[in-house]
Structure 1
Amino acid sequence: MITKRQGIIVWFHQMKHVKHLKRYGHMIHVSKKLKYAMIYVDQERFDDTYESLLKLSYVTKAEPSYKPYIKTDFESKVVDKEKEYDYKMGI
């Protein structure tokens, strides 16, 4: 069974705190220059994890990812010419 996950972007003061952030979820990416980490957590535990990250003294801010709530089914605005005209009509 596939579990639904959601990302959290955590901004911190120093790089030495990165190893402490690993216990909160699956760490995907860490930027040394901009001092942030991207962590994925299960959606059932998202609220608790998000609040606990905000309470940490070394976390500047945390931002949730809104990707699970965005519609990802795209439709084409360009009309397909083959579907517009039926060339096999007279045969």
Structure 2
Amino acid sequence: MFAERLGYIVWFSDFKAARGLDKYGSLHYLSRKMNYAVLYMNADSAEEALRHLQKLPYVRKIERSYRGEIKTEYEKNVPDKTRFYSL
């Protein structure tokens, strides 16, 4: 139903030029202070887009985001200790 999406962190040197990264995927966030962008793209076209991104003069480094692979369902195995601290 939905295409698999991959997230990438793109470190750049020029903020104005980095606003054009939306041509390569969905631009989720741009950090002006730390000079990075969070970019999501379809998994089937990711390799080709990464090759184009690495050729851009203002891109310093591209890292894969592992946010989708991190477990987000938590279990509470520790007993509740709030009753010991009540008045």
- Classify the TM-score, shorter chain: 0.7 to 0.9
Q: Which has the larger radius of gyration?
A: 1
**Residue 86 of structure 1 corresponds to which residue in structure 2?**
none
In the TM superposition, what is the alpha-carbon distance from 1:13 to its structure 2 partner? 0.6
Aligned residues: 80
Unaligned runs of 5+ in 1: 80-91
Which runs of 4 or more aligned residues in structure 1 lie more than 2 Å from their structure 2 counterparts after TM superposition? 66-79
Counterpart Cα distance in 1 of 2:76 and 2:43 = 31
**Residue 36 of structure 1 corresponds to which residue in structure 2?**
36
Question: How much is the aligned-residue C-alpha RMSD, in angstroms?
Answer: 2.0
Superposition TM-score, scaled by structure 1 size: 0.72
Please give the per-residue CA displacement for 1:8-65, whole angstroms capped at 9, x wherever unaligned. 1111111111222110110111100001110000011111112221111110111111
Superposition TM-score, scaled by structure 2 size: 0.75
**Residue 15 of structure 2 corresponds to which residue in structure 1?**
15
Unaligned runs of 5+ in 2: 80-87
Counterpart Cα distance in 1 of 2:47 and 2:71 = 22
